[in-house]
Structure 1
Amino acid sequence: MAADKKGRHIKGTKKQLPDGWITGAFRYAIFPTDEQKQCLEMAFGCERKVYNEYVAGLYDHLEAVGFSGGFLTYRVPNYTTITQRYDFLDRSTDSFVYNDAKIRFQAAIKKYNETYGTRPLHYKKSVQKKMKAGYVPSLQDVKGLPKFHSKKQGGFSYTTNQTNGNIRIEPRDGATFLRIPKFPEGIPVRLHRELPADGLVKKVTLKREGTRYLASISVDYPFEKAPLKETVLAANMTALDYSQSGLYVDSDGKKAGYPRFHELIGKRQRRLNKSLARMKERAMKDENGQPVYSKNYRQTVVHYQKTMAKAANQRNDFLHKRSHQITNDYDAIVVEDLDLTNLAQCLKLGKKLHDNGFGMFRGMLKYKAERKGKHYIVADRFFPSSKLCSACGHKKERLRLSERTYACESCHAELDRDHNAALNLKNYGIHALLDTGFLADPVSN
């Protein structure tokens, strides 16, 4: 639904924010009671079950039609066709749980069509290696198709939407409570920062990370962006070249110094995975042949989830602080348009790419620069930043990934490969600002 200039909803229209309004997410820690935790866990499980039923239905459909690549033309059924088959789903705490599963499934299909719809059927590289040894791949091995959600890997969340003021913050008896559908008594929340006074709450995503429960509140609110910088000095520009080991190297030769949080917990993660695998192998089986997990197994799963959540939170904290610092210090930021999806498929480089989160970092830089009136420039994907000499402009036709020092064949300049690429990206940004009239001091190179 849209809202008028006074913030009132206009029914029957699609969401369209008034001028000067933005959508922001505010994340808070919540402290549900034991009874509320049980209701939340049931909702998380129901959402995961419905989503997995959607995925199973998709695979059955693709097998029936003999899917061999191209666009997915699957008609997503209504979630009531799934809830009617399982009695325990009817006792869910909130009907938006099922609707959220359908929305996420539709988003997964849309992502596949946008990324792989025009490409031939392709399997993961790890699967391609197995195929050489005689392995017969299945639809679950196809790259990009929606995958089943695992209870071990997390994904304990669901989203509920605002309807007639059923989501709100209420102070009561010296505490603060979050009122959401099916929780009329409210869930205690730690409101470490106030929501915008003129904001409109649109939806709330409830999530569990290990033993912590969190609520992410989406709010539409008026926000006055800083005017775009009309003049930019070359000295107030920076360019960031992606670095596998340290996130980035800027045009001044400085490295981000990313601690690689996931690698720090790698040993602990492997130890927990081994413990879970042993307990799963030794678990007793029920009449259907399914393992009956012990209390120790469930506790180890929670420990595993807490370990992974901590690394993710540390990474997000680092990226937010570094992007905030860069957008404060510089008036223009230049980054390269890397195809991170293909880069992540490399078995040697993909793990580091997922660890440092360069894609998230670029997104943070973009929206923070826009709000602060700074210029965010993305170099063309085919701009040869690594092959050009930043001193004389000579292009080296062949440059292996193992060559970490750029040695120019023309002017014999030698410097770090990533630093040289960052300097070329800065020159790219200088010429881009020069063409648009924002550069205050044009330079010759």
Structure 2
Amino acid sequence: MAADKKGSHIKGTKKQLPDGWITGAFRYAIFPTDEQKQRLEMAFGCERKIYNEYVAGLVEHLTSIEFSGGFLTYKVPNYTTITNRFDFLDKSNDAFVYNDAKIRFQAAIKKYNETYGKRPLHYKKSVQKKMKAGYVPSLRDVKGLPKFHSKKQGGFSYTTNQTNGNIRIESRDGATFLRIPKFPEGIPVRLHRELPADGLIKKATIKREGDRYIVAISVDYPFEKLQLVEKVATSKITALDYSQSDLYMDSEGQKAEYPRFHELIGKRQRRLNKSLARMKERAMKDENGQPVYSKNYRQTVVHYQKTMAKAANQRNDFLHKRSHQITNDYDAIVVEDLDLSNLAQCLKLGKKLHDNGFGMFRNMLKYKAERKGKHYIVADRFFPSSKLCSACGTKKENLRLSERTYTCAHCQAVIDRDHNAALNLKNYGIRKLSNLGFLAAPVSS
């Protein structure tokens, strides 16, 4: 539902924010009691169960129609058809727990149709290697299809929506509590920064990261964006060329020097994975042949999740600080429109790409630049930033990826490949701003 300028809801309308309003997420640490932790864990598990049942139904449907590629045309059933089959999926959970699983599943199907709907059936790279040895792939090996959520890898979250003020922050007895459905007593929360006074809480996502519990509150609130800079000096323009090892190199020749947090915990991750695999292999089996996991196994899983969450939080902190610095120092930022999903398919490059999070970094730059009145420019995907000579403009047609130094055969210029590409991107941004009338005239001597 939409809200008017006074913040009142307009019933019967789709969400459309009034002028001068934005939607922001505010993350806080929550500290549930042991009894509340059990209820939250049950909610996470029920959400994961519903989602996995949706995936199982999709696989069964695609098998029956002998799916061979193209758009997915699957009518997603209501979650009540699943909850009625399992007694533990009862009303002790918030109804939005089950509805959230349906929304996520629908989003996964939409993403598949947008990305792979017009392409032939494509299998994962790891599966393609097995197929050469005689492996017969199944629908679970198809790239992009919604996959089952595992208890080990994640899925410890659910989203509940605002209905008649059922999500709110309360203060009593000198403490602050988060009120959400099925938790009327409130969950202690550390409110390290206040929510916007005129904001409207729309929804809350509760998640567990390792052994920590987090709530992300989505709020619509009035925000005065700064006026767009009308005249941009060339010294206030920076361009960022993507770098596998350093995240980016800018047009000044400076590298981001990204610490590669996931690589730092790589050995620990492999050690924990081996430990979990041994425990799973040695675990006792129940009457259905399923392993009965020990307390030590569950503790190791939490340790694994905590390790991965720490690396993710370190990466987000680095990207937020660096994007904040860039949008403060420059009036225009130029980046290249890379197809990151295709780059991630390369087994040699994909791991580093997922580690540095360049896609998230671009999103951060975009919304921060918009709020600060700065220009965010995306170069055309087919702009040959790496092949052009930044000194004379000559294009080098045959440029191998292994050539890390650009040597121009026309003007004999020798420059670092990434620095050369960043300079070309900056020149692209200068031309774009000049055509739009935002480039400041050079100061005459």
The two structures share one fold, judged by TM-score above 0.5 = yes
The structural deviation recorded for 1:167 is 0.6
CA distance in 2, matches of 1:328, 1:149: 40
| 1:29-67 C-alpha deviation (Å, 9 max, x unpaired) | 000011110110000000000000000000000000010
Pairing 1:45-64 to 2, within 5 Å after superposition: 45-64=45-64
* Equivalent position amino acid for 1:149 in 2: H
CA distance in 1, matches of 2:297, 2:213: 21
* Equivalent position amino acid for 1:274 in 2: K
TM-score (norm 1): 0.99
The structural deviation recorded for 1:155 is 1.7
Pairing 1:186-225 to 2, within 5 Å after superposition: 186-225=186-225
| 1:272-310 C-alpha deviation (Å, 9 max, x unpaired) | 000000000000000000000000000000000000000
Residue in 2 aligned with 1:310? Answer: 310
The structural deviation recorded for 1:91 is 4.5
The structural deviation recorded for 1:92 is 3.9
Identity %: 88
The structural deviation recorded for 1:263 is 0.1
- Check conservation: 2:331, 2:375, Cα contact below 8 A: yes
Q: Secondary structure at the match of 1:424?
A: helix
Q: Secondary structure at the match of 1:377?
A: strand
CA distance in 2, matches of 1:442, 1:344: 41
CA distance in 2, matches of 1:35, 1:41: 10
Q: Secondary structure at the match of 1:384?
A: coil
Residue in 2 aligned with 1:265? Answer: 265
* Equivalent position amino acid for 1:431 in 2: R
- Check conservation: 2:250, 2:422, Cα contact below 8 A: yes
CA distance in 1, matches of 2:52, 2:390: 51
* Equivalent position amino acid for 2:38 in 1: Q
Residue in 1 aligned with 2:81? Answer: 81
CA distance in 2, matches of 1:294, 1:155: 21
- Check conservation: 2:198, 2:222, Cα contact below 8 A: yes
Q: Secondary structure at the match of 1:274?
A: helix
- Check conservation: 1:234, 1:441, Cα contact below 8 A: no
2:94 paired with 1:118: no
- Check conservation: 1:434, 1:442, Cα contact below 8 A: no
CA distance in 2, matches of 1:294, 1:85: 28
Superposition misfits of 4+ residues, deviation over 6 angstroms: none
CA distance in 2, matches of 1:234, 1:308: 41
2:287 paired with 1:294: no
Q: How many residues align?
A: 443
- Check conservation: 2:241, 2:248, Cα contact below 8 A: yes
- Check conservation: 1:42, 1:92, Cα contact below 8 A: no
Residue in 2 aligned with 1:424? Answer: 424
Structure 1: gaps of 5 or more residues: none
* Equivalent position amino acid for 1:342 in 2: N
2:252 paired with 1:252: yes
CA distance in 1, matches of 2:293, 2:338: 43
Residue in 1 aligned with 2:230? Answer: 230
- Check conservation: 2:92, 2:182, Cα contact below 8 A: no
Q: Secondary structure at the match of 1:196?
A: coil
| 1:217-267 C-alpha deviation (Å, 9 max, x unpaired) | 000000000000000000000000000000000000000010000000000
Q: Secondary structure at the match of 1:38?
A: helix
Q: Secondary structure at the match of 1:220?
A: strand
- Check conservation: 1:46, 1:92, Cα contact below 8 A: no
TM-score (norm 2): 0.99
Residue in 2 aligned with 1:15? Answer: 15
CA RMSD of aligned residues (A): 0.8
Residue in 1 aligned with 2:332? Answer: 332
The structural deviation recorded for 1:390 is 0.2
Q: Secondary structure at the match of 2:348?
A: coil
Pairing 1:113-192 to 2, within 5 Å after superposition: 113-192=113-192
Structure 2: gaps of 5 or more residues: none
- Check conservation: 1:94, 1:181, Cα contact below 8 A: yes
